Structure 1
Amino acid sequence: MAHTGSATATRIVELELIRLRPASGGRSADTDGPVLVRVADGEGLCGWGELPAATGAQWEALTAGFAPALLRHTWRRPTEAGDAWADLPRDPAVANALDTACWDLWSRQRGTPLSHALGGERTALTAGVTLARQVTLESVVTEVNRQVGSGFRRIRLEVEPGWDADVVRAVQTSFPFLVLQVDCGGRYTESPADLDSLRAMDGLGLLAVEDPFAPGDLAAHARLASELRTPVALGRGLSSVEDLDDAIRAEAGGAVNVDPTRLGGLTSARRAVDRAVDAGWQVWCGSSATTGIGRAAVVALASLTGAALPVEMPGAGNRSRDLVVPPVRAHDGVVPIPLAESGLGHGVDRAAVADRTARSLVVDADGPREVRAAREARGRRR
């Protein structure tokens, strides 16, 4: 059923909260695996969101606070859904799961792709991939070769003091035309040795140097940004649009990794993209998501014109079973934006979800009730 007109009010009548076992294994319901959120409007439509690596405290906040608050709230646009939990203790990752689910539902109600609902215009994205720290320089080059062979056009290398400029040079020697950036993970300080390492990387033609210093240390980032020609990128220290505004005013960078999980949802992430572009900052959309549900939402966000840098995707060699059909993957370095289907554009594979479900709750007007993964749902997609 498609709804028309932005004035149509939506009230969520049921939420399904599904705690998954981590993809790496384990059967316990208490491990910090992802939580999937399904919201239903009572008219046969639903929307999905993801809370990555949810702690026990986040599960409790979701089940006892955020979910009941959303059930009591009526909204006309998903930008208003967050009013439901505005008075609760802030948790951007929990808010993101519900906010994304509401955006997915709203776009399905209107029969439009989520990318269009967000204002995106692109039909395909260039993909980037992150390489974790390797054991040797030779293994770095080997892994980069595998990713380049799969079509990835931008490689993001994880670096740290003592493992940085030499790594970049080794990759550039084998792949001189490859676009590279580095993720410092906040592991550097303003010590003379660390600053020398950062300066050494500045001369290597990188796309960006991400999070060199501790999250939130805008003064240190601003001092470095004023010195380097390479854009300093921020990500981990930004948990709200207001944080980004502070960073822009401090001139603490020139690029930003917009992650809806860190920022509290698609509503905030979309505003962050606009703020960054207005300030002349470069933007790419990364993700803490661990399932195709979260990654599909990031792809929709990355369709915004301002998010011009390559979107982060799982690399070649990632063989984990996705929870959506078709899987959210790059093909020859390109990520298609699904435009033939409404919402996320990917069907949730309920059989795959059931295989990984450790615990499931349904929350409605009667309160939460525990349910088991429905075996009869195997093979059924919704």
Structure 2
Amino acid sequence: MRIDRIDVIRVKNPFLHPFETSFARFVERDALIVKIYSEGLVGYGECKAFHAPLYNAEDNVTCHHIIKDLLVPILLHKDIEGPEEFMRKISFIRGNRLAIASVENALWDLKTQREGKSLKTLIGGTYNEIKVGVSLGIEPTITALLQKIEKYLLEGYHRTKIKIKPGWDIEVLKEVRKNFPDITLTIDANSAYSLDDIELFKAMDDFNLSYIEQPLAENDIVDHAVLQKAIKTPICLDESITSVEDARRAIALGSCKIINIKSSRVGGIYESVKIHDLCMKHDIPVWCGGMLELGIGRVQNISLASLPNFTLAHDIAASKRYYTEDVTIPYVDITKDCTIIVPDETNGVCYTVDEASLDRLMVSRDVFK
């Protein structure tokens, strides 16, 4: 396919409620949307970086630079077979995976249209619907957190995940388990701790957690291996896994028993599938994490999570969980069983981009043609 034009659109969308993690408090989603034109078709990808280098070393400014100055010249007015060839062409670039993934995702969108097949079919997905979990940020009080947990349990969410940080951890868990002794519960530290806190994590074994997500440094697998050997609760790695090679090393070291795959964190869907296949070979279950996406990224996550080793509940909630307005038609929503139907050729589920909504949320647009 020949690439005729590429737009990079910056949008801002306010959250219904602020969302707080161990590293930041978010009040809006500041995102870049990549729009690629090819022979009468248009493909979309969502860059999942934030306004500052908070989750990893990238932010919207660095991603805009990489897309504009490196990725656009590789593609514009060139012929390319698809996302696999694109990944080979950009293999000289170190890191910058959030930027790369936004373009790669748009190329997958074009590929689905050109071949008349769903993303689920193209990557070998098997699930017709996926289970949804809820991720809850750090609240002003424990009482407020308990109220939110109860609300989402009544809505049927299959797993409850709560964010923790030093000072908001063991006492919170005590209260949550006191009020909800039998729920499927996980915690996410977003790299807020070190091995100095090993006794704290040993104490968490008493709370029957399904896993502890990324407790230690965002680029570490060695200390996580030490911690995993010291505790019974499975460790789930997130930020530490940026490639299939990272996953291979973590599995070899025993750094985790579960991996959270975010396609944006690893450079796109192509690398995500390779990580999925490696984990499946080694009996490491995976699930699909979220980055507070708009609908474009959310829909692609749904298809990724249809692969057979995505066996745990995902951070892919309904659009209305975060936003009053989203950029897809229809909005992503959950079923009465708190699942999401995976779009494919047989079920009639199809999402398109709402250009009018995109225009309303747009802050700026760069056009390359």
Partner of 1:41: 38
- Structure 1 residues 36 and 285, CA gap change in structure 2 (3 angstroms): same
- 1:23 aligned onto 2:14: yes
Partner of 2:334: 330
Deviation (angstroms), 1:45: 1.7
Report the Cα distance in structure 2 between the residues aligned to 1:342 and 1:47, rounded to whole angstroms.
22
Partner of 2:214: 211
Deviation (angstroms), 1:343: 12
CA contact (8 A) 1:99 1:265 kept: yes
- Tell me whether 77-86 or 88-97 shows the greater mean CA deviation: 77-86
TM-score by length of 2: 0.88
Report the Cα distance in structure 1 between the residues aligned to 2:332 and 2:215, rounded to whole angstroms.
30
- 1:133 aligned onto 2:138: yes
CA contact (8 A) 1:130 1:156 kept: yes
Partner of 1:181: 186
- Tell me whether 221-230 or 122-131 shows the greater mean CA deviation: 221-230
CA contact (8 A) 1:155 1:180 kept: yes
Deviation (angstroms), 1:351: 0.4
1:320 to 297, 319, 324: 324
Corresponding letter in the other structure for 1:320: T
Partner of 1:28: none
CA contact (8 A) 2:236 2:259 kept: yes
- 1:103 aligned onto 2:121: no
- Structure 1 residues 297 and 289, CA gap change in structure 2 (3 angstroms): farther
- Tell me whether 254-263 or 329-338 shows the greater mean CA deviation: 329-338
CA contact (8 A) 1:113 1:344 kept: no
2:312 to 289, 294, 309: 309
Partner of 1:79: 84
TM-score by length of 1: 0.85
Partner of 2:356: 351
Deviation (angstroms), 1:64: 2.1
- Structure 1 residues 77 and 105, CA gap change in structure 2 (3 angstroms): same
Higher alpha-carbon Rg: 1
Report the Cα distance in structure 1 between the residues aligned to 2:321 and 2:13, rounded to whole angstroms.
18
Report the Cα distance in structure 2 between the residues aligned to 1:127 and 1:22, rounded to whole angstroms.
23
Deviation (angstroms), 1:79: 1.5
Report the Cα distance in structure 1 between the residues aligned to 2:188 and 2:134, rounded to whole angstroms.
12
- Tell me whether 335-344 or 308-317 shows the greater mean CA deviation: 335-344
- Tell me whether 179-188 or 59-68 shows the greater mean CA deviation: 59-68
Count of aligned pairs: 347
Report the Cα distance in structure 2 between the residues aligned to 1:56 and 1:218, rounded to whole angstroms.
28
Report the Cα distance in structure 2 between the residues aligned to 1:66 and 1:232, rounded to whole angstroms.
35
Structure 1 residue ranges without an equivalent (≥5): 1-9, 26-30, 365-382
- 1:223 aligned onto 2:226: yes
- SS in structure 2 at match of 1:59: helix
Identity score, percent: 25
Structure 2 residue ranges without an equivalent (≥5): 17-27, 51-58
